[in-house]
Amino acid sequence: MPLSNGPAVVADDFTSFGNFDLIKRMELPNNSIVVSKWQSRVTGLTVAHLDYEAPIVNGYFVVATEIFNDSGCPHTLEHLVFMGSERYPYKGIIDQLANRGFSNGTNAWTDTDHTAYTSSTAGDQGFLQLLPIFLDHILYPTMAKSAFLTEVYHINGNGEDAGVVYSEMQGRQNTSTDLMALCSQRTLYPVGSAYRSETGGLMEALRLLTVEQIRKYHGTYYVPHNLSLIVTGKLSNGTQSLLSVIQDKVEPTIIAHGQSRGPRPYGWKRPFVETPSANREPIKQTVKKVVEFPEKDESQGELVITFSGPSPTDFLNRKALDILATYLTSSPVAPLNKEYVEVESPLCSYIYFSEDTRATMVDLPIYIGSIPVEHLDDFDKRFISSLRRISREDFDMDRMRVVINRDERQLLSKLESSKGETLSGALITDFLYGALDGSDLPDALDEIKYYNVLRTWSSKDWSNLLKKHFIDANYVAIIGKPSAHLVEKLEKDEKARLATQIEKLGPDGLAQAKKDLEAAKEEHERPIPKGVLTSFPVPDVKSISWIPVESVQETSEGFDVARTARLQSNLAKHIESDGSPLPMFIQYDHVKSDFVSIHAYFSLANVPDRLRPYISTYLAAFFSLPVKRTSGEHLSHEEVINKLDDETVAYESALGVSEQFTEVLRVTFKVQVEQYESAVAWLRDLVWGAIFDKERLLVSAAKIAQALPELKRDGSNVLSSVWLECHFSANSTSLASVVLSQLEFVPKLIAELREAPDKVIADFETLRSCLTDPSGIRFSVTGNVLSVAKPRSVWGKYFGSLPKSRLTPVRLTHETLNDLGRNPAGKATVVSLPTIESSFVSHTTRGIQGFDHPEFPALRVALEVLNATESYLWRSIRGSGLAYGAYITADREAGLLTFMLYRSSDSMAAFREAKKVLTGLVDGTVDLEETTLDAAKSSIVYGIARNVSTPGLAATNSFLDQAIKGVPQGYNLKLLEKYQAVTKSDVLASLEKYVLPVFSSSSSTVVVVTAPSKVDQIADNLEDCGFKPEKRTLEVVLDDGSVGDSSSETDSQTSYH
């Protein structure tokens, strides 16, 4: 297989290709990226290509979408695009073809000013095959009435409102975030500006929207001269292969539709730039408004303060404002954090400076979360006073130097690991707001050059920037206040509205609504001719460029893993030439990179269960405790933070990796190669030399307590929290970190730190002694190991005193299951959450446990068959408007299989539909096509490629495979052959054995988080299905007598910078 990591080939110097003329070509310095932008002189279609080496090719197809009302036309049209096109008039065919082309389907998003359609494939063959089909859907969708009914909005036979878009907005509209954002938009922008609109569509507007309105909107904005194709990654024949496909297979169709009107047809006005939306002035006077949001806990609110920023093409000042925000808020020693967050009684849980790109000038919103309600009304004035004081005082220019240097390192790191994702945003903004001749592109993309300019700025320059855009400027402040009354009002109003709707429809109307929906679903279920699918060939796996990883282990006693024989590679020779073997486990994984990362994985198996709740506070405090260094030097917490920021690219402490292996505590440092020894020293000093200071522990615990009320408003957080509580025992670290545990534990911890700090500090010392037992420690080095002068002896210098120990196996989460988790059956938990209007659901059964189980390849293919975009679950649930998302996951670590529903308008109907499909597949009444099997296998290839698509991911997965999962290096690549060998009968047998039990009350459990108005009905329906439902509000009386909700998971498990 070809290997990536070679230099990007500088594009040929051709300036035209068919109908396309070159607008701009540039090579980004030091990043091996060639950027070229093209436009068709015939149709006006714009094409941009970022050419660089990577196994994944990404496409972003962008339409500028301006709307002057809340109908939701941009958002609803985004959904209808996927429902079939003129040449391919079949619902979901675009995703079925994408799945055949080493992809996991397509996707899209709708923002305030644009809609972007996306596709990612492993290698370029599938991408180029899909491109003309995708563009046919974007430019010429069918937009059928039947598609509108299921995908956008309908009334079901019970008189209830549903539809995919409606379910999505139902889950969003009355959240604090959306309510405050809409109020802010209405206040900031004048009447006649499209920026005032809710592009997603308000529920009351969606109920009145017609497909004819959407068709009219499409005819206005979905035209080739308002469409830009942005493609990132390596194409086999360079940019010419992209232009060739568009020239030969796209342009003729556009011309045949009479759309060969050039880049700027007569009468065309560029959205936002040449319309009334561009008529903007800086905020003329400060305005403050209050918005109530539904929440029974009325203790904390939120605030967003928005200022006017510079022009969207003033890239230097936009970067300066970004750096200023980092200086003010990025760490515990940042001025605003020190005053508001890093105190024993926090005034908020976070302060986040953002930027929204708009015509004429950008907006500068500042989001402030978890503010005690008694401080809400005057918080904005206090905040501006703080900024004024910071401006009067001299800026700490040493710290500003650290901030600028670190930001530059982090940008270089992002460009190495995700060039396309990092730069695509700038290309989208340039398409929307940049100069048509491409003259803004170099300044938009070459962000690195601004750092040297900003290094010359004085304290006065930074102070002037702060004054101009914040202190001396007017602003719009939107206060979000929680309201228990609003919870009851919304529930009452919705019940009354539905009752009126049902009465108005009457029996005949309800019957007609049911009939219309069934007819629409039947039309969608029209089968796609097999020949159409097979005409789209499955690419060759050999076309993918895999990132090579060299791996060497220094094994401790007792470590036994089946892995490839260690050869005398360059890496092995490099390691062995540097000092003596070490008395511990360490694995080196070399990839081509400008950086190196060190990781330590500490087993939590021996931590006493009573100390597990401490881990959240330990992680939150990890990088902000005083330290006694190996050298004997004592550092304050501020010195620790400043030095870390100066010497690293990033640092992180967390449970496990990507929500897996949470019975291991991980500490990671990413640095430039020359800082390798510094990173190893920091690991030693922060773990073994940290001083558990009472004041710092109090601040960290208070921050966790402050964040809990806001975290519990999210349906997904609450679901995962209650799910863990139902299935795991007291020795589960994840369970100890959820809100229920933390609501009970953190107030007690804070009280004890004040009353008996020595006892608490002794507990933290015990926790550390358990973590640092050498039998449970695994070290990892990933990145450019060959450029490290002393890769091994440095570890001996700082860790040589660790006693030699027999390495114990990693404890996996299946060892922490409770009785119900080991044998899920019968129990249903239905939780009331007033901040949502839809449902979040998990149905759980036993699955495959272990990472080399012989039946897993068949199960993975089976799940891909079910979960794929426009496959069985999608069509039966999302396609019927019953939920925004439905999928089944297999957790091989815990040995559980879960059916998930996300933002469901009718979770019981969705459950019944999924059960019907699974039963039909198993008994043969629903056919499993060979083309579906091919697409599933192809999509798995994409998933594997994506998982190792960057140097950092490839190296980390090499470590996880060998050191944690106990399988050989590159095991997933080796599984590709086994996936290809899976047969239809294998898939059906796997569905029957592992998946069908999740739909039976005798072999599964259910957790539902839903709106208060739906609790009783869902509980009754689950009881009818054989479950024993328990209804919960999860209210817990705290020590102060107040009531708290214990139904979400904290984010304090992870600390990263």
* Stretch 583-589: mean pLDDT: 94
Q: What angle do CA 413, 416, 420 make, to 5 degrees?
A: 115
pLDDT of residue 544: 80
CA distances from 400 to 328, 647, 672, 693, 1056 (A): 10, 14, 20, 27, 20
Would the pLDDT of 1051 be above 50? no
pLDDT of residue 557: 56
pLDDT of residue 800: 86
- Long-range (24+ apart) CB contacts under 8 A made by 918-925 are 918/866, 918/991, 918/995, 918/996, 918/999, 919/996, 919/999, 921/872, 921/988, 921/991, 922/988, 922/991, 922/992, 922/996
Looking only at the bridges linking them, the beta strands covering 550-554 and 585-590 are antiparallel
Distance separating alpha carbons of residues 754 and 750, to the nearest angstrom: 6
* Stretch 973-990: mean pLDDT: 93
pLDDT of residue 560: 45
Would the pLDDT of 559 be above 70? no
pLDDT of residue 992: 97
For 920-933, the pLDDT digits (tens) are 999 999 999 899 99
652, HSE (Cβ side, Cα atoms, 13 Å): 18
Distance separating alpha carbons of residues 228 and 246, to the nearest angstrom: 12
Least confident of 367-371, 410-414, 568-572, 640-644: 568-572
Would the pLDDT of 550 be above 50? yes
Would the pLDDT of 1048 be above 50? no
* Contact (Cβ atoms closer than 8 angstroms) between residue 328 and residue 353: yes
- How would residue 1036 be classed by pLDDT, with cut points 50, 70 and 90? very low
For 692-740, the pLDDT digits (tens) are 999 999 999 999 988 877 778 788 888 999 999 999 999 999 999 987 7
pLDDT of residue 567: 53
Would the pLDDT of 890 be above 80? yes
pLDDT of residue 1056: 36
pLDDT of residue 821: 97
SS (H, E, C) 924-991: CCCCCCHHHHHHHHHHHHHHHHHHCCCHHHHHHHHHHHHHHHCCCCCHHHHHHHHHHHCCHHHHHHHH
* Stretch 520-529: mean pLDDT: 85
- How would residue 31 be classed by pLDDT, with cut points 50, 70 and 90? low
Tell me the percentage of the chain whose pLDDT exceeds 90.
79
Query: What amino acid is encoded at 847 in this protein?
Result: G
For 767-809, the pLDDT digits (tens) are 999 999 999 999 999 999 999 999 999 999 999 888 888 899 9
Q: Which residues contact 291 (CB under 8 A, 6 or more apart)?
A: 176, 179, 180, 183, 478, 479, 480, 481
Element at 106 (helix H, strand E): strand 103-110
pLDDT of residue 892: 96
Q: Which residues contact 305 (CB under 8 A, 6 or more apart)?
A: 365, 366, 368, 380, 383, 475, 476, 477, 478
Least confident of 198-207, 559-568, 635-644: 559-568
- How would residue 1043 be classed by pLDDT, with cut points 50, 70 and 90? very low
Element at 461 (helix H, strand E): helix 459-466
Would the pLDDT of 375 be above 90? yes
Q: Which residues contact 203 (CB under 8 A, 6 or more apart)?
A: 161, 166, 169, 170, 173
pLDDT, the chain, mean: 91
Query: What amino acid is encoded at 149 in this protein?
Result: L
For 338-353, the pLDDT digits (tens) are 999 999 899 999 999 9
Would the pLDDT of 566 be above 90? no
pLDDT of residue 407: 97
Q: Tokens 């969705």, residue?
A: 910
pLDDT of residue 871: 84
Tokens of 1036: 């817990």
Distance separating alpha carbons of residues 832 and 1032, to the nearest angstrom: 6
What's the DSSP call for residue 380? H
Residue 236: Cβ-neighbour burial (10 angstroms; 0-12, 13-18, 19+): exposed
pLDDT of residue 563: 41
pLDDT of residue 561: 43
* Stretch 158-177: mean pLDDT: 90
* Contact (Cβ atoms closer than 8 angstroms) between residue 122 and residue 63: no
- How would residue 997 be classed by pLDDT, with cut points 50, 70 and 90? very high
Would the pLDDT of 292 be above 50? yes
Would the pLDDT of 562 be above 80? no
Would the pLDDT of 492 be above 80? yes
Would the pLDDT of 823 be above 80? yes
pLDDT of residue 1045: 39
Would the pLDDT of 1038 be above 60? no
* Stretch 574-603: mean pLDDT: 94
pLDDT of residue 699: 94
* Stretch 986-993: mean pLDDT: 97
pLDDT of residue 238: 92
Distance separating alpha carbons of residues 881 and 877, to the nearest angstrom: 6
Would the pLDDT of 147 be above 70? yes
For 647-677, the pLDDT digits (tens) are 999 999 999 998 899 999 999 999 999 999 9
> Among positive and negative, which fits the CA dihedral 581, 583, 589, 590?
negative
Query: What are the DSSP E strand ranges found in 569-659?
Result: 585-590, 595-603, 627-628, 634-635, 650-657
